[in-house]
Structure 1
Amino acid sequence: MNREGPVASAPKGMSTATWTPDNGNGTFTNPLFYDEFSDPDLIRVGDWFYLTGTTMHAMPGVPILRSKDLVNWEFVAYAMDKLDLGPAYRLEGGRNIYGQGIWAPSFRYHEGKFYIFSNVNDQMTQMFTATDPKGPWTRMPMKRSLHDLSVLFDDDGKAYVVWGHKSMRLAQLTDDLTDIVPGTERALFADDAGMGEGAHFYKIDGKYYIISANWQGGFRMPAARADHVLGPYEVHQSISSHEDFGMASSRRLGTPKPPFEFWGPDPAAKHSLAMHQGGIVQTPGGEWWGLSMMDFNSVGRLLSLSPITWKDGWPYFGLPGNLTRTPRTWVKPKIATPQPVRVPYQRSDDFSAPRLQPIWQWNHVPVDDKWSLSERPGFLRLHALPATSFYDARNTLTQRAIGPMSAPSVLLDASHLKPGDTAGLGLLNLPYATLGVEKLTDELKVVFYDQRLDQRVRVKMSGTRIWLRADCDFLTERARFSYSFDGITFTPIGNEVELFYQTFTFQGVRYGLFNYNASGAEGGFADFDSIDVHQPHTHGLMRPVPYGRSIRLTSFRATTGLAASEGRLASDAPTRFEIVDRELGRVALRSGTRYVTVDKDGAVTLAAGQPGTAQTFQWIETPTGELVLMSLATNRFLRIDPRTRDIRADSPGPMPDDSDGARFIWSQ
């Protein structure tokens, strides 16, 4: 059974604004989705691009999205409704598959059929096939376990697979694609050659390319190429590296069980995050673009789009003059027909539809007769099953948290809970945190729980209806829970919750609706009336470009900035520059009759005349909201050296610690 179809409109009065990469002016801003979409693989069939990625223990899994411009995506279907391969997949017997399940799928199209191959930990690789991406999809286990595989259908009718880590393996597949042909398996690289994992295998203009991801020495994307499918392969150490958009790493979880231990961030690490695993694709018009993911701390691994520049036969992520680096904001791919702005998911839900919206995924395999949208129309009903905690509660319904900030608010009717039941809203993560209603022998209590501190706070419940809210900030890595009995006045409860990225569940934070019974028996039921997900920042700019206004540009964490004095540019007390609209989200900086001008070597001056390429900057915000200005003359960023106070446009990208001086704060 496949969940598919167009995304329904949000119910009246609920939040509809969500992160949209299309800026509406011919440009886009990364990430494409501000919720987790990891290990991407994409293909083009005709005018459509199709995309899938990792879903691990979430059900349904293997999502399929489609787009005509690589920026505006729509949901098509899930290729897999459930993957039930034993008790661990059902959260039975104290077992689980957190951080396992569907990993790094390979998406392919060949002779009228769509294929998705994905390895499953401790199981065989699974092959999904369909003649229409909407489904139905058929699943067939292969006879081998192939880690992070990529399949290539060659021109001679043979199919090959690459998989593994460092040395990587290559083999020919049998005609039914379920096994490798005996005697064809071989290692491609020495362990120290520089290749990693997460292979993407292509044949382009007669040459064979393998793109991979390597975390050693900082996340990067090595590539290899050969004239023959069997090699020998020449390795290029990086076609993408160090691109973190200026994001700094947060603390990481070091142990998966209490007492929790943490590590980092490392102040000596210049780039502890970076875009890495992903692939490339060519548009009908001949342009090449790349997709890759990046750890965005606790919100998870997010997907970004990069222009590809071919040089010396290698597909570099980035622009000429700044290869291996991706601009956070750039011009959209050129296509024949402009596409409407759209997003793949609607996040707010009043549960009035006859089936769950595509945004929802169960935590592990659900128990189908213990949840319902029809027992009480307009409500999600969750029957309580026995569990020791939120982490092992069955039938927890989740959706990915969305950044940079968001606040899910849930309306719950707790009138049918039984003693031992706890139902509510959780932030599914490690450590996790929940806010719910607990049924004691003869009363209801609001209960907050922070697993990191093993701290509970209980408040007496008034009535049986309650609003539960979690205000999440994925830039500060903090969340605060609150509750309301009237939906208007919210009361904070408990401590501020610290959010983490961790590689045990290998997912970012998820909002979870839950109901479980801690007494060891089945309990009552909880009726969820709605969830409303509010997002204060839904585009690439937290502040609009101040076209036509005069502003001051001050260096981030400094009192000096750009100054025009006696016809020259200096680093001093900031003076005013008029922001001239150069279209496509670009600006020129004018002082009197002169413009900030960049030479091809990155030198910066004030020069008279009309603005052209040398005077034009792409106006970009870092994820945390500071301004960076990318010169179109160098495709590098304007900066004031913190030590020498020299002004140049030579930064490849803003440093997380601002040691290059490329960040600015603008004011009027």
Structure 2
Amino acid sequence: MKKLFVRLGWGAVLLLVTVLGLNAQTARNPIIYADVPDMAMIRVGKTYYMSSTTMHLSPGLPIMKSNDLVNWQLVGYAYDTLANVDALNLTNGKSTYGRGSWASSLRYHNGTYYATTFAQTTGKTHIYTTKNIEKGPWKATSFKPSYHDHSLFFDDDGRVYLIYGAGKLRLVELTADASGVKPGTTEQILIENASTPSGTGGGLPAEGSQLFKVNGKYYLFNITWPKGSMRTVVIHRADRITGPWEGRVALQDLGVAQGGLIDTPDGKWYAYLFRDFGGVGRIPYLVPVTWEDGWPVLGVNGKVPETLDLPASKGLIPNLVASDEFTRKTGDRPLPLVWQWNHNPDNSLWSVVDRKGFLRLKTGRVDTSFVLARNTLTQRTIGPECSGSTALDVSNLKDGDFAGLSLLQKNYGLVGVKRENGQNFLVMVSAASGKPVEIQRVSLAQKTVYLKAECNFTNRADLAHFFYSLDGKAWQAIGEPLKMPYTIPHFMGYRFGLFTYATLNPGGFADFDYFRIDDKTTKK
């Protein structure tokens, strides 16, 4: 170090130490560069918990844990399957892309944790409760109707409410255990038009309610999207939950919006929000909050800061996404928490024990398309760039079978192996046009092939490239680059997926040796 001082001089060394210190100790927005939308957050003691939306995926309603608001890890899910219906099972030609369970509410009250959501697919509001948020088990109850974007709230007087709706926000009282609507209760309009503070000239109405009580006052957070502008945070406050309410625009910058308030043990305040960010999905931000005249003031001079006075991120691998060698020891979960199935799985048609160290995906029926095939096993992509790879044994495919690696969204991309007339072919399929098109095929003479997909989300490039290898070392591009737009029909960021399905006869299977994810890609 002394020689370094001599060469650089004290001023340069001090600058170097300062820069290194900032890089090591300072958090940056977005705090999670991955699809974690519609967050709800609580603090219990010194520990933070967060829930989010995973739509049509199973298990669902993920629960994450952090000790510093920046570094999060998955600790569980509130449910394994939302319901046993055709649309969630991908049966009888039905699906529930873009629906399933939506924005959740997360609360801790009298020793019990509550995670709630609602679903157009079921037409119900779903309530999940547990005494141990990290280990469960969760008790499930549900009731009609499906209360849109609701916020569960336990008031100081013991009464329990949901605030819900879009534009016109309503209040309904629940039973003491939040298991249903309180008998004899009458719903009431809370705010006639919650969009009013940001203007009422068109755009999307205020929704995404999250209610808080601070120093005896009620604060209601909503997102609105004024016509010709951007996603905007609107806050209303009141002295009584029934109002009257007064509102104001709280943040209008970068389209960062929808969320609520969280405080730290040492008295700091933040707003947790998210931003639409193209193909990677809707990504979380933290915004500092100060208090002025009884109002939470979001941002730094009205702007979302790039850096935060919080510990730096240690990366999303392996706590939100992770590689998997598919080796399992006694007592291990069959699948780590980073994995979710595309819709409900058929548990009779997959295994991590039939062949040691492999994920086996079996075909049990004939399917007409990738998006209607069951048992595609997925996990998030991450930004600003990432790659996912796998080794695939195709020895036991039947004619008409297709197995491989996907980037799942409406405009999906696939690289994999098709078996036709006793021969195997490496293929790349693109649904960039909205319909799947085989872009390239290559004859495959060996039983094992290596597949890789790389994603670039930097500055919303939203571009993917697909590769194959015959030895796991030398990679060859296949097909064409895939543009990855965020589409409302799927309402979710692109996800890596491992898939196998039959188009002629069921009974074949594919073995995946591993899935490996990296936060770097090949530089081109």
TM-score, structure 2 as length reference: 0.88
Aligned counterpart, 1:161: 162
Other structure's SS at 1:25 match: helix
| 1:146 corresponds to | 147
Aligned to 2:11: none
Matched, 1:298 2:279: yes
Q: 1:201 to 1:509 in 2, by over 3 A?
A: same
CA-to-aligned-CA distance 1:279-308 (integer Å, 9 cap, x gap)? 111111111111111111000001111111
Call closer, same or farther: CA 1:339–1:524 in 2, change over 3 Å: closer
Q: Secondary structure at the match of 2:87?
A: helix
User: What amino acid sits opposite 1:240 in the alignment?
Assistant: L
* Equivalent position amino acid for 2:304 in 1: T
1:362 maps to 341
Map Cα deviations across residues 583-626 of structure 1 (whole Å, 9 max, x no partner).
xxxxxxxxxxxxxxxxxxxxxxxxxxxxxxxxxxxxxxxxxxxx
The reply to whether residue 97 of structure 1 matches residue 96 of structure 2 is yes
State whether residues 282 and 289 of structure 1, in contact with CA within 8 Å, keep that contact through their aligned partners in structure 2.
Answer: yes
Aligned to 2:308: 330
SS in 1 for 2:279: helix
Q: What amino acid is aligned across from residue 467 of structure 2 in structure 1?
A: S
Q: 1:497 to 1:440 in 2, by over 3 A?
A: same
> 2:234 maps to which residue?
222
1:352 to 307, 327, 339: 327
Compared CA separation, residues 482 and 103, structure 1 to 2 (3 A): same
Instruction: Note the C-alpha offset of 1:310.
Output: 1.6
In the TM superposition, what is the alpha-carbon distance from 1:204 to its structure 2 partner? 0.8
3-state secondary structure, aligned to 2:299? strand
- Flag the structure with larger Rg: 1
Question: 8 Å contact 1:29–1:330 — kept in the other structure?
Answer: yes
Cα distance between partner residues in 2 of 1:421 and 1:341: 37
Q: Does 1:372 align with 2:351?
A: yes
Shift of 1:93: 0.8
Q: Please tell me whether the aligned partners of residues 516 and 523 of structure 1 are also in contact (alpha carbons under 8 angstroms).
A: no
Give the secondary structure class of the aligned counterpart of 2:260.
strand
Aligned counterparts of 2:22 and 2:326: Cα–Cα separation in 1: 31
TM-score norm. by structure 1 comes to 0.69
Q: Is the contact made by 1:144 and 1:179 (CA closer than 8 Å) also made in structure 2?
A: no
Offset at residue 531 of structure 1 (A): 1.4
**1:364-413 per-position Cα deviation (integer Å, ceiling 9, x unaligned):** 00000100000001000000242111111100000011111111111100
**1:202 counterpart = 2:177:** no
Alpha-carbon distance, 1:190 to partner: 2.4
Partner of 2:496: 511
Partner Cα separation in structure 2 for residue 462 and residue 474 of structure 1: 35
Amino acid at match of 1:185: E
Contact 2:367 2:501 in 1 (8 A): yes
- Within-5 A mapping of 1:92-491: 92-122=91-121, 123-133=123-133, 134-177=135-178, 178-191=180-193, 193-194=196-197, 196-216=206-226, 217-236=229-248, 238-243=249-254, 274-319=255-300, 322-323=301-302, 325-332=303-310, 344-353=319-328, 354=332, 355-385=334-364, 386-453=366-433, 454-456=436-438, 457-475=440-458, 476-491=461-476
Does the C-alpha gap of structure 1 residues 200 and 494 become closer, same or farther in structure 2, counting only changes over 3 Å?
Answer: same
Counterpart contact for 1:298–1:501, Cα < 8 Å: yes
The 2-side partners of 1:469 and 1:439 are apart by 19
Structure 1 Cα separation of the partners of residues 284 and 316 of structure 2: 16
Deviation at 1:180, TM superposition (A): 4.1
In angstroms, what is the RMSD of aligned CA positions?
Answer: 2.0
Q: Matches of 1:341 and 1:372 in 2, distance apart?
A: 30
Structure 1 gaps of 5+ residues are 1-21, 244-273, 538-668
Counterpart-to-counterpart distance in 1, 2:316 and 2:169: 38
What amino acid sits opposite 1:31 in the alignment?
A: P
Amino acid at match of 2:443: K
**Per-residue displacement from partner, 1:167-197 (whole Å, max 9, x unpaired)?**
1101221223211453431112223524700
Contact 2:36 / 2:283 at 8 angstroms: preserved in 1?
Answer: yes
Partner of 1:619: none
The offset of 1:477, in angstroms, is: 1.5
SS of alignment partner, residue 184 of structure 2: coil
Distance in 2 (CA, whole Å) between partners of 1:140 and 1:393 is: 29
2:504 is equivalent to residue 529 of structure 1: no
Aligned to 2:14: none
Pair 429,276 (structure 1): closer, same or farther in 2 beyond 3 Å: same
By how many angstroms is 1:449 displaced? 0.7
SS at match of 2:132: coil
Determine the C-alpha separation between the residues in 2 that align with 1:503 and 1:340.
31
- Name the aligned partner's letter for residue 112 of structure 2: K
Give the total of aligned pairs: 478
Q: 1:359 to 1:156 in 2, by over 3 A?
A: same
Change (3 A) 1:222 1:308: same
Q: For residues 314 and 468 of structure 2, what CA distance do their matches in structure 1 show?
A: 38
AA in 2 matched with 1:410: T
Q: C-alpha distance in 2, partners of 1:29/1:529? A: 35
- The 3-state SS of whatever aligns with 1:147 is coil
Name segments (4+ residues, structure 1) moved above 6 Å. 338-342
Task: Indicate if the aligned counterparts of 1:24 and 1:341 stay in contact, CA closer than 8 A.
Answer: no
- Structure 1 counterpart of 2:453, one-letter code: A
Query: What's the secondary structure of 1:422's corresponding residue?
Result: strand
Identity %: 39
Gaps of 5+ in 2: 1-20, 198-204
Deviation at 1:162, TM superposition (A): 0.3
Which residue pairs with 2:33 in the alignment?
Answer: 34
Cα distance in 2 for partners of 1:305, 1:77 equals 23
Report the Cα distance in structure 2 between the residues aligned to 1:342 and 1:299, rounded to whole angstroms. Answer: 14
Q: Hey, what's the Cα distance between the residues in 1 that align with 2:316 and 2:256?
A: 24
SS of 1:369's partner is helix
2:49 equivalent to 1:56: no
Q: Residues 619-630 of structure 1: matches in 2 within 5 Å?
A: none
1:536 CA displacement: 2.2
